[in-house]
Every structure is written in C-alpha cells, then in structure tokens.
Amino acid sequence: MQPQSTDTQIYVGDLHPEVTESELYTLASLSGKVVYIRVLRNLQTKAALGFAFIQFADIASTIRAQEEMNGTSVRGKHIRVMKYSRERDPEANIFVKNFNEDVTTKTLEHHFRKFGPILSSKICYDDSGKSKRFGFVQFEKKEAAQAAIQAANGSDWNGATVQVEKYVPIGKRTYLSSQNLYVRGFGAEMTNEKLKEKFSQYGEVTSSAVIKSPDANGSEKYYGFVCFNNAENAKKAEALHGVQDEGFAWYVVPHMKRGARLAWLRSEYLKKQEDWKRRNIIIRNLPLSIDEEKLRKLCQDFGTIESIKIPKVKNIKYQNEAPIEETTNKGIGLVCFKTPAESAKAIQVLRTKTVEEKKLLVFPWKPREEIAKIVNMNRMKKIYSQMWEFGMMNPMMMGRGGHMKPMDRGQMHPAGRGRGQRPVVQGIPQPNLIPPVMVASQRPMPMALPITFNYQAYEAAQPDIKKRMLGEALYPQVLTNSNQKVAGKITGMLLEMDNVELLGLLSNPLGLKGKVVEAIEVLKKAWENDAESLKLIEGIA
C-alpha cells in the first residue's frame, strides 16, 4: 500500500548501493509491521541513490525502528535512520568530536537525548569500519542544540574530552587552521631543528617538519609546517611572512588541507571572476591595423586602464614559394578598467564609434563557460524554430497560459514497485521518429487540450527536471484518452521513452493515443488476476 501518514515513516540513508528492498524489509520487520518500503533509484540508470523510505503500521513501531536500526551495519556500511521530516532546522544541528572509538550511534543519541528530541544522529566511519571519533546530532529545535553545546562542549565522556559545536556547512566553513602554519621560501640548507628554533621566538612550538618533494618540472622544492601550542602564538609568527632572511623571503600562512585549499582557491577565483565581469570589456570588429598602443589611446578617456590585450594569431604565407610566418591580430581587444563605472561608460560610448570605417562591437566580458551556454541556447532556438516551420511541433504548444493539472506521481506500478518510481514498460514498442519534413496533410492535428510548454526552459533544465516537464505536458492528453484513475500511471509508463520521442508525441495526438491504448493493454494483462485494479480501467475505449 502507499504511505498515507508521515508520522509512521522513516528515512534510511547511507545505504550500500546493492542493498535491496527485501534486505531492508527483513531488518525493519524486527521492529514492527512494515506496510511500505522503497529504495530510491535513478530514473535513467536505475542505480540505487543510497537512501530509502519505510512506513510502519503504527507510530510505536516507527519509534522502535529508529532506535534499533540507526547505526546498524548493512553490507559493511552503517546506515542512518531518522524520522521522516520535510523540514529540518539547520540551526539545530551539532558537530561532536573526540569521543572514544567504542561510542556507537545508539550511545551517542542516548548521551544527547537529555537536551531535547532528536531527529537523527550519525557517527562517521572509515572504509575499514573504524570510527573516526566524530559525528552529528540533529535536534528538532535549535534551543536543544544550543543547550547541548553549552553543557557538553569540553566535558569529560568516559575519559575523553568531547568537543561540541554548531554544525557549519562545507560552503560556509573557515578553512584556516588556527595553530598550524605552512611555511616555504627556504632551500636545502633548512633543517627541522633550524625551523623549530626560528619560530620558537614567537612561542612554544609543539611540532615542526621540513619536507622535500619534486615540483612539476622535476626540481626539488622545500616547504614545512610549524604547529604552536595556541592560536595566539601562531598569529604572532605570521609576522615573519615576507621577511628577508639569508637570501630568501619567508612565506608564512595558516595551514590548509589540500582539498580545503582547492575549494578556497576555487571560491576566490569565482569572486575575482565576478569582479572581472564588471570591469572588463571585449571589443570586436577592430581593424587589423590596431595595436595595443592605439587601443589604449582609444579607451584612455573613459578611465584608468589596468590591463589591455589584443590576441594574436600566426599565419603562414608564401613568398617566392618560401613559407613566411606572419603574426596578425584577431580583430578583438580586451580592456580592463579600474572601476565598473568606467567600464560601463566605455561600453556606452564605444558602441557609437567607427574606426577605419568599421563599426565597433562592444560587450561586457564573460567567462568562456557562460559564452558556451549562450551559444548552445541560441543553437537550440534555431533548431526548434526549424522544427516548428516543418511541422514537427504544434503551434498550440507555444505561448498558451492555460492551467495544467500536474501528473499524479503517487500511483504504484502494477507489479508492486514504489511510489513515484516509473517502471520499464514491457510490450510497448518504441515510436518512430517524426520525419523532418511533412506535407500539410501529414502535419499534427490540433491538440485536444491547450497546454503550455516552454522549450527554452526545457532545454536549460536538468535531466530530471526535463522528465518532469514532459510528464506535466503529457498528462492532460493522456487524461483525455483514459481516466483520472490511471492517467498518472500511464504518463509514468510513457516517460520511460526517450525524451526526443516524447517531444514528438506532444505534437502527435494520434500517435499518443495509440501509445495510451497499448499501455492500457499492458495494464490489463498485469491486472488480469486483480479484479479491484481492473475496475480502474473499465469503460476506457
């Protein structure tokens, strides 16, 4: 049966990709009567997504399952079980670390339950199943999380000093280490003893290391790490950054892990990119005689120019049958101004200028990936325009504002598969693609119901969103050829087809009607021993 109440549902996460519904059913049945179970899978590849939903017959069994199943090892992975909740307060999530290795998910949850109701708890393990000695607790209310941080942070738990703090999402974390420094600039003469002695003037050094490794060119590079007993002394030592010492300059910064540093560098680059988009302009259709000096004179009246560049290309020409390499500009100029206001002024004025009888084309600079996206969008607009012109699309699809009832995603497959999961339909042949050119008599008939289908939004959407858009567009037509009881189910069956073929069905009502008839025959065969289900398709012509 389908789940009716969220009070008796649980979410099961961190699943091994090969875990099946039957395995989870066997485990969950120990806590009570299971009435519904579903492992979520990718619509296209059918690969498991690593989480599932289970519904019990009563609330008591649901609570018992959450307590007994959470942290259980299934196929070598510790699963995470929590009460189903559409909304969770991010302020009610805490991070706990430095507890003993023998602490389990159950003991972690029991230890913090005194502060308030808990939605979920989790301990992280390595690939060998060994505890990493940190985990997370999600409370229902942020007041409980604040009380836990205040009372438990720095407390003793079975001989371990536990640290409890508010959970911070990865995108908002500070990647800098407060006590550990990364240093470089020196050469082969530096030893661990010299490094420790140099930094000890700023405070107690608990550890230090000098490391030698080859760089990208195969040469040796030297760097090191210095860890102080507290953050204050480490901060003092940063004063050494940039100081000249025996022929080299010290480079001293807070230490970052490699992954964190890459994430930080990426975020910094994106910030710079947004700044470049406001201050850089690109000038096209420049005469080939324009060099960087002439371009600077052309733009200097608009403000301070920080950089200027004209890309060059090498050409080969032949003179007296001998090849000669010639470098010419590509008719494009890049100019970076100091402020966005100067850039905007330059764009406004230069668009009105003509240089050597050539009209300048001036635009704000955009990164390559954004330009590629715009080019692709324009290409798809042209394709859709051609498809419409040759009758491959029905004009009634475009520009209508009628209300459209969304497809019913709650129907179950006749074979008993879960809610919202679209099954592979056996017995329905794949439709032929609509020919690229159709005579007037072959063009699609007007659709029975006016619908809205935004092809531009469809092309820009993610694959799963595209399927949803197609389903919502197909549903009204399927409904006119079936009934409200099975229209959602048949729509889900049709969505197993290729997206291109579905687009063809949208403008081919007769073809779509044929697919609906075939789907009904499949349902009749699947339900031949189920009188109740057969009633759902009674009276459909």
Identify the band that residue 46 occupies on the pLDDT scale cut at 50, 70 and 90.
confident
Q: What is the pLDDT of residue 312?
A: 87
How high is the pLDDT of residue 428?
A: 36
**Is 70 exceeded by the pLDDT of residue 43?**
yes
- Helix/strand/coil for 70: coil
Residue 438 or residue 161, greater confidence: 161
Give alpha helix (H) positions in 6-131. 21-28, 59-69, 105-112
Residue 393 has pLDDT above 50, yes or no: no
Q: Helix H segments across 257-339?
A: 258-279, 292-299
What is the CATH topology of the domain spanning 396-537? c-terminal domain of poly(a) binding protein (1.10.1900)
Mean pLDDT of 471-492: 86
User: Could you report the per-residue pLDDT of 287-316, keeping only the tens digit for each?
Assistant: 988 899 999 999 999 999 999 999 988 888
**How large is the average pLDDT for residues 189-199?**
90
Quick check: 382 and 375 in contact, CB under 8 A?
A: no
Residue 434: the pLDDT is 34
Instruction: List alpha helices for 225-367, DSSP H.
Output: 231-237, 258-279, 292-299, 340-350
For range 117-127, the mean pLDDT: 87
Mean per-residue pLDDT, 190-208: 89
3-12, 22-31, 122-131, 416-425: which has the minimum mean pLDDT?
A: 416-425
CB 431 within 8 A of CB 497: yes
Alpha-carbon gap, residue 288 to 332, rounded angstroms: 9
pLDDT one-digit tens code per residue, 153-185: 888 888 888 888 888 876 666 655 678 899 999
Among residues 48, 36, 142, the alpha carbon closest in space to that of 87 is found at: 142
Predicted pLDDT of residue 435? 35
| Whole-angstrom distance, CA of residue 390 vs CA of residue 470 | 21
Mean pLDDT score across all residues of the chain: 80
Q: Supply the pLDDT for residue 427.
A: 40
pTM of the predicted structure, to 2 decimals: 0.39
Which fold does the domain 180-255 belong to in CATH? Alpha-Beta Plaits (3.30.70)
**Token representation of residue 449:** 């119901």
- Residue-level pLDDT at 541: 62
Question: Does the pLDDT value for residue 60 go beyond 70?
Answer: yes
Contact 92, 147 (CB under 8 A): no
Instruction: State the average pLDDT over residues 71-97.
Output: 85
Closest CA to 349 of 311, 303, 308, 290: 303
Is there a common fold for 180-255 and 278-366? yes
Is pLDDT at 29 greater than 50 in this prediction? yes
- Name the residue ranges covered by the structural domains of the chain: 6-171, 180-255, 278-366, 396-537
Query: Which class for 368: exposed (0-12), middle (13-18), buried (19 or more C-beta within 10 A)?
Result: exposed
Mean pLDDT over 234-261 rounds to 87
CATH of 278-366, one of 3.90.1640.30, 3.40.220.10, 3.30.420.40, 3.30.70.330: 3.30.70.330
Comparing CA positions, the residue from 51, 122, 114 lying closest to residue 93 is: 122
Residue 486 pLDDT level (bands cut at 50, 70, 90): confident
How many residues would you count in the chain? 541
The yes or no reply on domain 6-171 and CATH 3.30.70.980 is no
CB 32 within 8 A of CB 68: no
What does the pLDDT average to over 21-25?
88
Query: CA 520, CA 528: separation in Å to the nearest integer?
Result: 12
For 73-96, give one letter per residue: b (16+ CB within 10 A) or e: ebeebbbbbbbbeeeebeebbbeb
